[in-house]
Structure 1
Amino acid sequence: MVRHIVLIRFRAGTGEAAIAELFAELHRIEGKVPGLVSITSGRSESPEKMERGYMHGFVVDFDDWEGLQAYQDHPEHQALGAKLVENAEGGKDGILCFDLPLGSKGT
């Protein structure tokens, strides 16, 4: 399994309603990409308060690396990705992506 983690620093003025719509669009891809297991999205509620401006994010779990690639190639993902970049502080600089294989040594 592969966990795709995305953290976003949205531009000032991007309201919670607009962010909720972006995440709703993200969830609409569920069931359309082979190997996509689940999507979880939302705003950080961390008591540690160490977000450094990355207050929103999502996690997508895939069966394998091929599922992640199918997601990355999917036109709906590409369209949403462009919208996220457009709304992120500094464009791509306001987005962090981290892909973590699950079930391998050390986990």
Structure 2
Amino acid sequence: MITHCVFINYRADTTAKTKVAILDALLALRPRIDGLINIIVGNNMSPEGLDKGFSEGFIVTFRDVAARDQYLADEEHAKVGAAIVAAAEGGLDGILVYDLEH
């Protein structure tokens, strides 16, 4: 299994409507990708204060590397990714992506 973790530091002017649209588009990818097991979305809830501005994020679980790679190559995923980059503080600098294999 692959756990694909994405954390976002949104620009201060990013509206709640924009954030919801991004997450809706992300969730719409679920039926497009064979081997996409689950998507969890939410706000940072850690009391440690170590989030470095990454206030929201999502975790996608894939059956295997091939499913993850299909997701990464998907044209609708590219559109969601572009929307995230546009809404993130500093573009790509406002996004943290980390994949774990287990």
Task: Compute the TM-score of the two structures, normalised by the length of structure 2.
Answer: 0.95
Q: Secondary structure at the match of 1:40?
A: strand
Per-residue displacement from partner, 1:6-49 (whole Å, max 9, x unpaired)? 01101111122321221111001111101110101121122222
Per-residue displacement from partner, 1:48-107 (whole Å, max 9, x unpaired)? 2221100010000000000000000011100110111111111111101000001xxxxx
What residue number does 1:105 align with?
none
Q: Secondary structure at the match of 2:26?
A: helix
Deviant stretches of 4+, over 4 Å: none
* Structure 2 unaligned residues grouped into runs of 5+: none
What residue number does 1:72 align with?
72
RMSD of aligned C-alpha atoms? 0.9
Q: Secondary structure at the match of 1:31?
A: helix
What residue number does 1:47 align with?
47
Instruction: Kindly provide the amino acid, as one letter, of the partner of residue 61 in structure 2.
Output: D
Aligned pair count reads 102
Larger Rg: 1
* Structure 1 unaligned residues grouped into runs of 5+: 103-107
Matches within 5 A, 1:27-46: 27-46=27-46
Matches within 5 A, 1:1-107: 1-102=1-102
